[in-house]
Amino acid sequence: MSMNPTVARYAVASKHAPKLTDTIILADRVHSALVSLSNGSSIFTGCGEQESPLQGNRHAHVLCESNCGLGKGIDGEITHITIYAPMGFESEDQRTLQGLNVVLGGSDLEIQMVLLGFGQPQDFGGLDPERGQSPLLAKSRTWVSRTPFLPTRHHKVTRAGVPKVDATGLQIGSPEHDLLRLLELAGLPAPEEVESVPCTSLGGRETPWASFACRRSNGEGRRSAYGIGYGFRIEFAEPVQGPVVVGYASHFGMGGFDGEIDCVRDIE
């Protein structure tokens, strides 16, 4: 029996696409379009019967990419949009996704989307954007933040104000501690190494996490604990199949990691 596809990948055809820093804004609008086109299908709303949230984060994630390849991404614009749902797209869901071709990108800007195909992450993933591959969907030991990780918990301290730490010495509720917790909840192995990174590269320029929009305009779920983003490079003992995406608004493109790749290009 064939497996339902878990990935629908699109190329952004618009000449003036939003920057990757506006991921959460565009992803929210793509989500709204899918909810409308599907007449409220649970794979897109994330809600089951009686509006109860689906468990396990297996419904659709809207993930934006800015890949320096095929002559695009040189200004940090969004080049691709990937809809990823571990629960898999049924035939009706696929018809909805086939109907997704225009989304409003803000200021009355229409974003044209071209469906590249359905499949599994390994069908599209890789570390060579020049060949149209997606680092977001790669298989790699090392992953680096591409959109900011937004923690969902606060630092824990005693009544005397002393930080509460776990067995490894990490402060409980700190961004790194929350990252490790959420990776485990996502079924991923514990990384061998974790280091902080201050920015990502967009169009060959260092772009700090503070440059990213980090709040949904109409979000009603759990909020980011800090309201600001963090970046990390994580290394696993063995290669992990992407996407690796965790934290607040992970279903709207936040907390996304790329398989390790240098996206800096000579744009002169």
Residue 207 lies in a domain: yes
59/29 Cα distance (integer angstroms):
16
**pLDDT value of position 262:** 42
Beta bridge partners of 193: 235
Q: How far apart are alpha carbons 65 and 49 in whole angstroms?
A: 32
**pLDDT, position 261:** 54
In a domain, 38, yes or no: yes
What is the per-residue pLDDT for 49? 63
Q: What is the pLDDT of residue 265?
A: 38
Question: Is 127 domain-assigned?
Answer: no
Specify the pLDDT at position 263. 42
The pLDDT assigned to 164 comes to 75
Q: How many domains does the chain have?
A: 1
Determine the structural domain holding residue 110 and report its residue range: 7-122+134-259
**Is 49 contained in some domain?**
yes
Model pLDDT, residue 14: 81
Owner of token pair 């800015």: 66
Q: What is the pLDDT along the chain (268 residues), one digit of tens a residue?
A: 458 999 999 999 887 889 999 999 999 999 999 999 999 899 998 876 656 666 667 899 999 999 987 778 788 999 999 999 999 999 999 999 999 999 976 666 789 999 999 999 999 999 988 888 999 999 999 999 999 999 988 777 777 777 777 777 677 778 898 999 999 999 999 999 999 999 999 988 999 999 999 887 665 544 555 568 999 999 999 999 999 999 999 999 999 999 985 444 333 3
Identify the pLDDT of residue 267.
38
- Does residue 74 sit within a domain? yes
Asked if residues 85 and 43 have their Cβ atoms less than 8 Å apart, the reply is yes
Asked if residue 70 is part of any domain, the answer here is: yes
Long-range CB pairs of 53-58, under 8 A, 24+ apart, other chains included: 56/86, 57/86, 57/186, 57/250, 57/251, 58/85, 58/86, 58/87
Residue 1 resides in a domain = no
Q: Has residue 85 been placed in a domain?
A: yes
* Among 206, 198, 243, 201, CA closest to 83: 243
Query: What value, to the nearest 5°, has the Cα angle with vertex 242 and ends 149 and 140?
Result: 100
